[in-house]
Structure 1
Amino acid sequence: MSQTFNSRKKTKKPWLDNLYLQRKNRTFELGKKSINELIKQGIRVSYRSIAEISKQIDDEKRGIHANSIKSNPDLYKYYQENAPKKEKIKKSLSTSFKSELSATKYNFIKPGRDLNSLRNRYKKFTKNELVEFLINAEEYIAENNNKWVISQFEKYKE
């Protein structure tokens, strides 16, 4: 029979409840003051900036840790209300990659190259970059097939 050891069992310690409540309230009040001070000074509100300015504001000069903002639900909610909203940026093909694609010389590709390094290089591309790369490769193949067919007809005529 196997026994599992769980050192993180939550045991109630009622004698610490009052201390935990005091610390939670201290963190909230100090964090709220720090956020308000950052807004007043026009500084970007972030975990790090809150932690830094809280040390300046705090009478004990201890401040609060950046992670305590996330772990205190009331303070985290206040932080989210006042922090700048992060918008997702839609990725587009970089111009350097587009020019790199157009400048790719498919006729210089060697048949005996290292396929693992090629595979790893392709894995670094985004989906859109791979699509553009594939389209260019197919265009190159189609043009060369056309040239080959024309050259075959010309040889046949002779």
Structure 2
Amino acid sequence: MLLLFLFGTDAFYPWAKAIHFIAVVSWMAGIICLPLLLGYHTGLTKGSSGSETFKVMERRLLRAIMTPAMIVTWIFGLWLAWKGFAFSGGWLHAKIALVVCLSGLHGYLAGAVRRFAADTNDKLASHWRILSAVQMVLIIGIVTLVVVKPF
């Protein structure tokens, strides 16, 4: 009941923005780090102690930080889009489209973590470096749309 009251008040809006921003920063930190970890993991011998350590780090990053942060980002982001902008504005639609792409990348990375855990990765380290560049382009686009609101 308290949450329904809070979500309905204008006083909650700055708190929602803060929570959304914290979740975005956490999600982006993970989505930047995970492809780097996977790239380094690629060079390790399957079954080695180093490989097993990377598996634990990748799984914990994905499950403990990235996925919860993505969920909170979506929940508060959609609420902010509804409450603050009534889902209007071309920049907001473009931003949501880029966030959908970033969420798809998150899913791809989650699948990669599962493949690494099963020792079935078939991608080269260069693949993960290229993926890092792709996610940076998405992040730059999202931030630019939010700050500049060009249309």
The normalised TM-score by structure 1 is 0.32
Higher helix share: 2
Pair member with larger Rg? 1
The normalised TM-score by structure 2 is 0.33
Q: Which has the higher contact order (CA 8 A, sep 6+)?
A: 2
